[in-house]
């Protein structure tokens, strides 16, 4: 189980744990701990006047108990797919007066850990509970006692936002969004009355439903009935002037089924575009490849794209070493520790995606090169005059080599297809990019989203219903929020990391666009040259037979016949490599990405100036909320690009050149 500490505690670096972690990474992909987060949104004491507090606490306890039982039962059935330890159940509550505290106390009774996002720094937030502002007696002492109780059990995370009292509604709204983003299930204690107050319980309920969060609505009035709200069972609407009430029918069994469904690992669908998908269990069985299978692709890419000799390694380094440049090790800051915990989950899908990408591209290139070589070997005995008894051994050698080339093509395509190299590349790349999304939005409490797939792309399966998306969600759940005070130093470090990520992606896409353009242009140019050469050879070969005046130019007819066939075969190989590699589309997509990333870079740099005090903010929106919006936008742009790329290459399975 992952332990969450309060700010008063210090994160320690255990060498034994580090060694065990390094060993696990060398042996195979890490399994995330099973975690489940239940958040709360509810009324303060002024709207709990008709509540029976003990009965309300009992209703909340029943919901939390059902969640715990469902998570534990699921873990018992699937323990081999998760990290060691029992399920990490986490209650997300800002500990405001009223429903928030009732929920937190019941959660601690049931051995949940506590995550407390505060809309202000703790000292400022405690002013809400001073005697002149509190809505319940002993409010401040109760707030501190709940935190102390969770801290003593070393199961507390505090995330103190940078809200401004100048606009409390915005600050509380930002805190509420963090609660929603950090919840897999949201408990809403609401009396069913819509007062249309900004930042209130009903507004947060609507936002949660808009984001597709499952909600348990508990009536804030006795006898505190409750309803499970999801797309198939929407919230009841009451006539004007009357309050809504939960519908009867939701049971604890329904709630347990929902928890189980959200934890269940999706299995790949089967269909014309989905038969190359793999399962999560196959991912867990992966081992680090020892040898580099992408040498042909790297040589081709560097020679044609950059006009330089490729410097490739025969042996594959450890995956964690490959990502250290973009994921530096720093245990001295909350952000550095959060990135460090995420890195161990990111480096495996990233490393495997790179290996399978290189292997698949190498097969595609070698298949067309060997096909052109087979044509050459078939025609070479005729061109060289070896089709006679004196040179029969040379003819046999050429035929044998041609056969070897054809068998090699078949073997490469069959191995690539049967071992699902394309499917592994696509799934591992999607997993890596979704984990990169967690790195960008997690430190600021941002949300995770995948856009809905358009109707005409439904046959490619929704990316959110893949094991890769499930894996990213499982990692996100297990890591949760960092233990942090979102002050200027923290915001500066998050903004700096966001700038680092955007610049890295910008440089990558600019280089990719330039290289892809060069490869596409040179392959296209080579194909045209082959066509022109074949045309010239055909003319030279035909002229002596068509016009007697050109008989003196009758030179090496067998060689001319071979070249008439060889140049088209070579041109077809160039066109095939160009077509399979999708270099034109890759270049255009990377150019568009570079333009979008440049705009994001400018906006992030402007926000960095605000954080550093070099310029002033145009309104009262907290800087953390601005940063969360920018991080979400940047990560969504990156994820969208991968989703588009995914659809393109799902239609490019390994095939025999024909």
**Considering the domain boundaries, does residue 45 fall inside one?**
yes
Same domain, 322 and 254: no
pLDDT digits (tens, 9 = 90+) for 363-406: 999 999 999 999 999 988 888 888 777 778 888 999 999 999 99
Are residue 93 and residue 163 in the same domain, yes or no? yes
Residue 269 lies in a domain: no
Give the model's pLDDT for residue 619.
66
Q: Any idea what the Cα angle at residue 75 is, between residues 70 and 77, rounded to 5°? A: 100
Same structural domain, 330 and 250: no
What rounded mean pLDDT belongs to the chain?
Answer: 87
Using N-to-C axis directions, what is the helix angle for 99-109 and 139-152, rounded to 10°? 30
Q: What pLDDT is attached to residue 24?
A: 44
Task: Tokens 């991968």: give the residue.
Answer: 642
Taken as a whole, the chain contains a residue count of 658
Is residue 597 assigned to a domain?
A: yes
d(CA 174, CA 406): 63
Is the same domain home to 250 and 301?
Answer: no
Mind listing the pLDDT tens digit for each residue in 296-325?
A: 999 999 999 888 887 778 888 888 888 877
Residue 273 within a domain:
no
Does residue 8 lie in a domain region?
Answer: no
Q: What long-range pairs does 222-229 form, CB within 8 A, spacing at least 24?
A: 222/50, 222/51, 222/52, 222/55, 222/56, 223/52, 223/55, 224/51, 224/52, 224/55, 224/56, 224/58, 224/59, 226/59, 226/63, 226/250, 228/254, 228/255, 228/258
d(CA 431, CA 639): 10
Q: Does residue 237 sit in the same domain as residue 336? A: no
**What is the per-residue pLDDT for 559?**
79
What's the CATH code of the domain at 97?
Answer: 3.40.50.450
User: How far is Cα 40 from Cα 589, in angstroms, rounded to an integer?
Assistant: 41
> Containing domain of residue 63, as a range?
15-263
Which one, of 460, 466, 476, 404, lies nearest residue 430 by Cα? 466
Going by C-alpha positions, the residue among 459, 231, 434 that lies closest to residue 346 is 434
What are the per-10-residue average pLDDT scores of the chain (658 residues)?
A: 34 40 63 96 94 96 97 94 91 97 97 96 95 93 97 92 89 93 96 79 90 93 92 68 83 95 83 65 92 91 86 84 81 89 93 94 94 91 81 89 95 92 92 93 82 62 85 94 93 94 95 95 95 88 66 65 87 92 92 96 94 74 89 90 85 82
β-pair partners for 113: 90
Residue 301 lies in a domain: yes
Would you state the pLDDT for residue 550?
54
The position carrying tokens 């046999």 is 396
252 inside domain: yes
Q: Let me know if residue 140 belongs to a domain.
A: yes
Number of domains in the chain: 2
- Say how far apart CA 60 and CA 96 lie, in whole Å: 16
Give residue 297's pLDDT.
93
Pair 574, 523: CB distance under 8 Å: yes
Q: Which percentage of the chain shows pLDDT scores above 90?
A: 61
């Amino acid at each position: 189980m992952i332990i969450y500490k309060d700010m008063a505690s210090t994160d320690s670096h255990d060498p034994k744990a580090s060694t065990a972690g390094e060993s696990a990474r060398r042996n195979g992909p890490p399994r995330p701990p099973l975690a489940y987060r239940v958040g709360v949104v509810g009324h303060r004491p002024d709207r709990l006047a008709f509540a029976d507090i003990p009965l309300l606490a009992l209703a909340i306890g029943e919901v939390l108990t059902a969640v715990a039982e469902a998570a534990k039962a699921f873990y018992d059935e699937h323990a081999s797919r998760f990290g060691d330890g029992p399920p990490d159940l986490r209650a997300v509550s800002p500990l405001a007066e009223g429903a928030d505290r009732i929920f937190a106390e019941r959660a601690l009774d049931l051995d949940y850990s506590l995550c407390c996002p505060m809309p202000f720094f703790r000292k400022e937030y405690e002013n809400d509970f001073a005697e002149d502002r509190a809505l319940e007696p002993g409010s401040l002492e109760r707030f501190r006692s709940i935190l102390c109780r969770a801290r003593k059990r070393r199961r507390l995370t505090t995330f103190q936002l940078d809200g401004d009292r100048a606009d409390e509604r915005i600050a509380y709204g930002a805190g509420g969004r963090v609660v929603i983003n950090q919840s897999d299930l949201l408990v809403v204690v609401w009396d069913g009355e819509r007062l249309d107050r900004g930042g209130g319980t009903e507004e947060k309920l609507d936002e949660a439903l808009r984001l597709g969060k499952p909600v348990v609505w508990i009536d804030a009035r006795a006898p505190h009935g409750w309803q499970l709200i999801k797309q198939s069972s929407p919230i009841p609407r009451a006539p004007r002037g009357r309050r809504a009430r939960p519908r009867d029918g939701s049971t604890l069994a329904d709630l347990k089924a929902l928890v189980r469904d959200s934890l269940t690992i999706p299995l790949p669908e089967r269909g014309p575009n989905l038969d190359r998908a793999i399962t999560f269990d196959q991912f867990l069985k992966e081992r680090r490849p020892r040898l580099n299978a992408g040498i042909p692709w790297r040589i081709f890419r560097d020679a044609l794209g950059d006009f330089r000799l490729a410097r490739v390694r025969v042996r594959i380094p450890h995956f964690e070493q490959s990502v250290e440049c973009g994921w530096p090790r720093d245990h001295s800051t909350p952000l550095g520790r959060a990135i460090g915990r995420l890195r161990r989950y990111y480096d495996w899908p990233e490393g495997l995606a790179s290996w399978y990408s290189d292997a698949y591209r190498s097969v595609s290139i070698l298949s067309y090169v060997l096909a052109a070589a087979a044509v050459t070997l078939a025609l070479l005995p005729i061109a060289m005059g070896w089709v006679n008894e004196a040179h029969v051994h040379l003819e046999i050698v050429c035929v044998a080599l041609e056969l070897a080339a054809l068998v090699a093509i078949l073997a490469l395509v069959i191995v690539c297809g049967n071992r699902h190299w394309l499917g592994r590349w696509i799934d591992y790349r999607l997993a890596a990019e979704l984990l990169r999304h967690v790195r960008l939005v997690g430190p600021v409490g941002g949300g995770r989203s995948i856009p809905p797939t358009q109707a005409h792309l439904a046959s490619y399966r929704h990316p959110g219903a893949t094991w890769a998306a499930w894996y990213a969600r499982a990692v996100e759940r297990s890591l949760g929020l960092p233990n942090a005070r979102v002050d200027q130093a923290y915001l500066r470090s998050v903004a700096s990391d966001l700038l680092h990520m955007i610049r890295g992606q910008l440089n990558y896409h600019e280089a990719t666009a330039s290289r892809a353009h060069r490869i596409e242009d040179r392959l296209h140019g080579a194909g045209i040259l082959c066509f022109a050469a074949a045309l010239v050879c055909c003319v030279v070969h035909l002229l002596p037979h068509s016009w007697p005046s050109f008989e003196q130019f009758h030179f090496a007819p067998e060689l001319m016949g071979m070249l008439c066939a060889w140049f088209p075969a070579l041109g077809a190989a160039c066109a095939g490599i160009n077509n399979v590699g999708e270099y034109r589309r890759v270049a255009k997509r990377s150019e568009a990405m570079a333009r979008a990333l440049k705009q994001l870079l400018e906006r992030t740099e402007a926000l960095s100036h605000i954080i550093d005090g070099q310029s002033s903010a145009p309104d009262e929106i907290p800087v953390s909320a601005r940063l969360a919006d920018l991080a979400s936008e940047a990560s969504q742009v990156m994820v969208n690009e991968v989703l588009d790329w995914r659809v393109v290459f799902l239609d490019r399975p390994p095939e025999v050149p024909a």
